[in-house]
Structure 1
């Protein structure tokens, strides 16, 4: 069968399944499972006879959405919250992994721009961080404690204030994606320039290592979470700009729903980063190097594994389940 005939023959069936998935109007789980199996058969057929066709990408994405829907209806899945963290979010991260890679690339570019700008303009850091902050930090460096700013205030006060601010930044990075992703890119620009110039400032004052072992105790999770939240914002923006086969409103609703799930998934990491900044970072100058480095590597490994590595394992499990369905 020619590819055109294959698509024409099954197009209505795929669109019907897709509409039901997006609108969440499947009342009969058995009907959903039956149509899902047909979709998987069509996907296998397309992979065999049209290996370079774009229809494979479409069916694969549709199958992923269908699996997420079916997974929720399985009887053994009694813990909805556990399913969200272990299955739903990782599958979403796998499906939209290119957005994460793009976001990291954009953020890294802005960090680099911040470093180059600070290196070539002695007043650049002050224009970004403000005279008061720079003067305070210079005084702290002279007193032998470059990151003394993290010791100000009480533990709980710092934790609450810092966490609230980080949540605000993350939520704004997502919400501003509604402007075609431009608002999200602005958040990345602002934070990337600030981070790059900030770290170069410590490098220039010969206290780079002292700043790293202090700032990145909490910064590993904090910055990583912001990047993931920005990726959710870009997904939201793309859903508006590139609706594909859906109406723009339907695509927007799906993009918003997906982005919100990603955003929510970052909250525990943001809370933990705030906890570290409020209760641990203030002791970075007196703790041994192996401990501060250990905390940095552990937190970075944990969040990196969840968002960059585990999604591939979740996807492999999903592939096994679609080949061995049990409803």
Structure 2
């Protein structure tokens, strides 16, 4: 490729990076993405056009970008607020495809659990264990089918549930096979989603077979709405991380893994309030099975509205707003960039 053709093709990307450097508080992900791409262009120019104006310009631009990214500065005020209101929603927006895949996989597994339980009476015992099934049936016969939520002290139950929720969600994120201390990549994440989905399906059928499906939804989904959503979202975060290894795009696989891991971990950290609230509901509210239907619906629908608002609506608003306000062309679903005027120095080499 001739130098003039190279400059003409890549100039829009360089101008977009100049605009980022000139902007007040540029988006860190967009700046890092542009810097990585600039490094590729600089290496190409030094290899095929050594000593050229293009190589000198790219070297100067790379130095400016490096200084902008790695300079030491005090942490801005409101950093924690920005994390919850911008960084987590943007990470969810970038991972929306993986999150949808995680949801479909989990719902499909729940369906498998229900259908398998209907077709084979021993399937529920295979999945949940004889002890749990016998206990549940004894509770049903005693007229208190959800007595299991009343057995432990509230504080102990809340702490235990919170720990278990975090454990399962991190398993879904990291993609570890249960009992095997080796990452299974996206296959492991899928395995955690499928096994938990089948378990939920078998659990639901256990009560549906007793004519208690309505009661199961009214009681269990008080905490289950948040709990199951957390598993699905953590699974989507895991798919985002591990799929970056198999589909790195223009990045080296290690760089793609680092980017995917950072994005996935941001989502999982954003789930911490969901873990805690779900544990609180299960340990304190779910045990009150005598609650009227309207009270249960308030909790369930309120939880669902909060999930949709934070993990669907807000990410969509943030993502579309940034796509409209930034000038960098959307790449790998990032939609990063800033619209702005091109700085006068350093200038892009003119093409003959």
**TM norm. shorter chain > 0.5:** yes
Would the aligned equivalents of 1:235 and 1:259 in 2 still touch at CA under 8 Å?
Answer: yes
Equivalent in 262, 271, 278 of residue 266 of structure 1: 271
1: distance between equivalents of 2:298 and 2:171? 31
**Quick check: 1:103 aligned with 2:107?**
no
2:16–2:339: 8 Å Cα contact kept in structure 1?
A: no
2:89 aligned residue? 90
In 1, Cα distance between the equivalents of 2:11 and 2:231?
Answer: 39
Deviation per CA, 1:266-315: give whole Å up to 9, x if none.
Answer: 111011000000111000x2111000111111111111221112111112
How does 1:60-99 map onto structure 2 within 5 Å? Answer: 78-99=77-98
Partner of 2:186: 181
Greater share of helix residues, 1 or 2?
A: 1
Are 2:310 and 1:306 aligned? yes
5+ residue gaps, structure 2, are 35-64, 177-182, 328-337, 342-352
Q: Per-residue deviation at 1:30? A: 6.6
CA contact (8 A) 1:146 1:210 kept: no
| Aligned equivalents of 2:108, 2:212: Cα separation in 1 | 24
Displacement, 1:224?
Answer: 0.2
How far off its partner does 1:75 sit? Answer: 11
Instruction: Give 1:74 deviation, angstroms.
Output: 12
Asked if the contact 1:77/1:83 (under 8 Å) is kept, the reply is no
The alignment status of 1:219 with 2:224, answered yes or no, reads yes
Find the structure with the greater CA-based Rg.
2
The one of the two structures with greater contact order (alpha-carbon pairs below 8 A, sep at least 6) is 2
Is the CA contact (8 Å cut-off) linking 1:173 and 1:230 kept in structure 2?
yes
Query: How does the TM-score come out when normalised to structure 2?
Result: 0.72
Task: Report the 3-state secondary structure (helix = DSSP H, G, I; strand = E; otherwise coil) of the residue aligned with 2:271.
Answer: helix
Of residues 89-98 and 220-229 in structure 1, the stretch that sits farther from structure 2 once superposed is: 89-98
Q: 1:272 to 1:250 in 2, by over 3 A?
A: same
1:71-220 equivalences under 5 Å are 78-176=77-175, 179-220=184-225
User: How far 1:92 moved relative to its partner?
Assistant: 1.7
Between the aligned partners of 2:147 and 2:278, the Cα distance in structure 1 is: 18
Paired position in structure 2 for 1:290: 294
Instruction: Name structure 1 gaps, 5 residues minimum.
Output: 40-65
Gap change, CA 1:253 and 1:12, over 3 Å in 2 = farther
- Cα distance, 1:180 vs structure 2: 3.1
Q: Which runs of 4+ in 1 moved over 4 A?
A: 5-8, 11-17, 28-33, 73-77, 323-327
**TM-score normalised by length of structure 1:** 0.78
* Residue pairs, 1:231-242, within 5 angstroms: 231-242=236-247
Q: 2:55 maps to what in 1?
A: none
Q: 1:163 and 1:236 mapped to 2: Cα distance? A: 24
Give the Cα–Cα distance (whole angstroms) in 2 for the partners of residues 32 and 169 of structure 1.
36
- Where 2:185 maps in the other structure, the secondary structure is coil
Paired residue for 1:10? 10
Q: Answer yes or no: is the 8 Å Cα contact 1:174–1:259 preserved in 2.
A: yes
| Residues 229 and 278 (structure 1), Cα distance of their counterparts in 2 relative to 1, 3 Å cut | same
**Pair 1:319–1:116, CA change in 2 (3 A):** same
Partner of 2:230, secondary structure, is helix
